[in-house]
């Protein structure tokens, strides 16, 4: 079902209460991070995230993948989940910033 966004390798899936997730640990972290970001926006003021911060949030995933590929260390579901989580939160906050800016600009032009 999620094959077009996640490789879904069996050894990289999380098991929660005996049930395997449908996506890998990193993608689970991204989705959970986006969920947490959406909850944050419901209860607190909207944070404006700049593109630099968004790119900075992507770096842990990039470094993790590179370090695994060069065999610096083995794949860790926990690290994959945490790097995905950080990126997911920032992704949601960045997207909400972009959408809010678009509608604010659109409202000023009317």
Domain ranges within the chain, ordered by starting residue:
25-108
In a 3-state reduction of DSSP, which class is residue 80? helix
The pLDDT profile of the chain, 110 residues, written as one tens digit per residue, is 555 678 778 888 888 899 988 899 999 999 999 999 999 888 887 677 888 988 999 999 999 999 999 999 999 999 999 999 999 999 999 998 888 888 766 666 65
Query: For position 2, what pLDDT does the model report?
Result: 57
Phi and psi at residue 13, to the nearest 5°: -80, 145
């Amino acid at each position: 079902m999620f094959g077009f966004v996640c490789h879904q390798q069996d050894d990289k899936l999380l098991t929660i209460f005996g049930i395997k997730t449908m996506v890998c640990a990193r993608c689970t972290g991204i989705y959970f991070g986006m969920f947490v970001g959406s909850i944050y926006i419901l209860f607190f003021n909207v944070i404006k995230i700049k593109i630099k911060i968004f790119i900075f949030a992507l770096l842990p995933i990039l470094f993790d993948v590179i370090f695994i590929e060069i065999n610096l260390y083995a794949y860790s579901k926990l690290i994959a989940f945490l790097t995905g989580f950080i990126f997911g939160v920032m992704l949601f906050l960045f997207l909400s910033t972009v959408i809010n800016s678009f509608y604010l600009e659109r409202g000023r032009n009317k």
